Chain A
Amino acid sequence: MRGNDAIGEAAIVAGCRCYFGYPITPQNELIEYMARRMPEEGRVFIQSESELAAINMVLGASAAGARVMTSSSSPGFSLKQEGISFMAGQELPAVIVNIMRGGPGLGNIAPAQSDYFQATKGGGHGDYYTVVLAPSSVQEMADLTIDAFRLADLYRNPVIILGDGMLGQMMEPVEFPEKGEKTDLHKEYALTGAKGRPGRLIKSLILDTKEMEDHNWKLARKYERIKKNEVRYKTFKLEDADMAVVAYGTSARIAKGAIKRVREEGLKVGLIQPITLWPFPSQFIRKCGRSIKDFFVFEMSTGQMLYDVKLALEGEGRVHFHGRPGGIITTPLELSRIIARHYYRVKKEKER
């Protein structure tokens, strides 16, 4: 199944009640898939007039208590930031998919990883974060989508699935669990009409400064809980490594191929693949920094996750960066040569 389609089917399995979206390459397949499948399942589908309208429809549907999703690509993701900020402030759950492409501005339609900052550092205004999940295969696109709905409801927060154009288009075998989740879950904050109770209010406007501060700290405490409980990462050949590549998404797949090659030549290189880009596996990387002294960050951008790796290490290691923005995909063979060259250079410096 195609990556974009897998996200759609996974959302349906997870009980997604509404999908609102706007076409933008490279995720058009997802909105078309939902246009076909949502009515088949008796669920709601609207092609809205813009990504801006879509995220606001998500806000409304979420306020009414439904599981709801929208998707876009980089320029459209920028349009959604206001809505995401509002939903974070109002503590409403939602799943937002960003299939990244080249940027900034209109960019191009090739895969990229240049929206990392925007996704992980609260891309809209205000003090907030969203959980960010980074799949690297079609199966992960499906599994993480189902997880995203669970996490969004659990923490009453928007969750972002950060894919890229290559993942969206590639076709791989994928398995879905049984359609278990009901679409209507009872939520104690949801607006359903004030039957037998006082009116409920979902808002983010808090004019009183003390109350506003309290609200911000309440959100901060929630984010600390998420940081403690939801960090996820994968490793590959890390046990005896003296250099660790750090990469996510498509870059992680390429890195795995490169590492397999350099391992055949005896270079002890491993991979750290964050699955949650927020919360970032900082503690794990810091721990690795005690035994591994060289980190090689590989991204399809000019360097964004690079800074989270540096922050995580707190000076405990050397960080090298290799990146290609704009849709130029480094092949595993090319990357293996670049990694090997860096490995030998570092070895020579150590021997001096």
Chain B
Amino acid sequence: MKKVYAWPKSLKRGVPFHYCPGCGHSIIHKLIAQVIDEMGIREKVICVPPAGCAVLAYNYLDIDMVEAPHGRAAAVATGIKRVLPQNLVFSYQGDGDLAAIGTAETIHAANRSENISIFFINNAVYGMTGGQMAPTTLLGQKTSTSLGGREAKRDGYPIDMCKLLATLKGAVYLERTAVNSPANILKTKKAIIRSFQIQRDDQGFSLIDILSPCPTNWRMNSVESCRWIDEVMIKVYPLGVIKDETK
């Protein structure tokens, strides 16, 4: 018998993930490590991790990384890519980092069609700081700063970042996937590969919006969280390719 599924080489051994049981970050880190292995790009990638639960991403992936101030990853990635256009530069950001404090940097990096890949880990909540409302929190969703559930009048509406960025000509490829089932996980992996290919071919800005479970802050167990993505989240944030202007 052959080993058909193994520990990804680019994932550091002996450093167990600090993420909660059933957290999407662990799954996505594993996917990124697999993609780096399969595409053979460990020596080319440079990552900009976020401020958030994944601030410690550098503990797990054995690649070059530089920390950015909260929300500024798209600008930092721009600086790196302009100096090293041959490298594959990607950012790994959560809801606050990308859609709240970092909205301007994200929009303008997309608008300039910076040749970078952005992986947006969308779990509709601010995880690391204890489960506060995020720009992506759904109406009626209870969080620690929207106690009775998000209300449109007081808190505004959930932002669909993919739809927002789709209006910009510079955003060349926008796809939404999820990691709540093996089938969706495999689609996410394909999307990550596609984003790196687009960058390698100098085609411009791509962003993958990955719906990710947060059992702890959703106050559910892992199985319920995966189900909630299917039954509730996908209705507000449908999966699929939102924009593809690649050649």
Residues of A at the B interface (CB closer than 8 Å) are 17-18, 20, 44, 46, 48-50, 52-54, 56-66, 68, 82-83, 86, 90, 191-196, 198-205
Contacts and interface: CB of A to CB of B under 8 A. Distances in A.
Given A46-B112, A56-B105, A193-B45, A82 B83 contact: no
Given A53-B75, A83-B72, A18 B82 contact: yes
Interface in B39-80: 42-46, 48, 55, 58, 61-69, 72, 75-80
A59 B55 contact: no
B108 A66 contact: no
A346 B66 CA distance: 57
8 contacts: A18-B82, A56-B69, A60-B77, A60-B81, A63-B79, A64-B79, A64-B83, A201-B65
Contacts of B147: none
A57 B75 contact: yes
Contact of B66 (A49, A50, A57, A60): A60
B124 to A, nearest CB: 25
A200 B61 CA distance: 11
Contacts of B61: 199
Given A60-B79, A66-B83, A194-B42, 15 more contacts: A50-B104, A54-B75, A56-B68, A57-B75, A58-B79, A64-B84, A86-B67, A191-B80, A191-B84, A193-B64, A193-B84, A199-B61, A199-B62, A203-B66, A203-B67
B108 A191 contact: no
A194 B83 CA distance: 16
A57 B66 CA distance: 12
Contact of B83 (A17, A54, A56, A86): A17
Contacts, number: 131
Nearest to B76: A60
A64 B104 contact: no
B63 A18 contact: no
Nearest to B41: A193
Interface residues of B, number: 34
Interface in B139-181: none
Contact of A63 (B44, B62, B63, B66): B66
Given A53-B105, A191-B66, A201 B112 contact: no
B217 interface: no
Contacts of B132: none
B216 interface: no
B87 interface: yes
Contact of B79 (A49, A57, A199, A200): A57
Nearest to A68: B79
A205 B69 CA distance: 10
A60 B75 CA distance: 8
A199 B46 CA distance: 9
Given A59-B66, A59-B76, A63-B66, A193 B104 contact: no
B2 to A, nearest CB: 29
A194 B82 contact: no
Contact of A198 (B62, B78, B81, B87): B62
The 8 closest A-B pairs by CB, nearest first: A60-B79, A56-B75, A60-B76, A61-B79, A57-B79, A56-B72, A64-B83, A191-B64
Nearest to B87: A193
A73 B75 CA distance: 20
A50 B78 CA distance: 14
A61 B83 contact: yes
A62 B87 contact: no
Nearest to B89: A60
B39 to A, nearest CB: 13
A65 B66 CA distance: 12
Given A199-B64, A204-B67, A53 B45 contact: no
Contacts of B55: 205
Name which of A18, A201, A204 has the most chain B CB atoms within 10 A of its CB: A201
A57 B82 CA distance: 9
Nearest to A86: B69
Contacts of A17: 83
Contacts of A49: 104-105, 107-108
A157 B167 CA distance: 40
A60 B79 CA distance: 4
Given A199-B64, A200-B64, A202-B67, A18 B43 contact: no
A275 B31 CA distance: 53
Name which of B45, B64, B77, B83 has the most chain A CB atoms within 10 A of its CB: B83
B79 A56 contact: yes
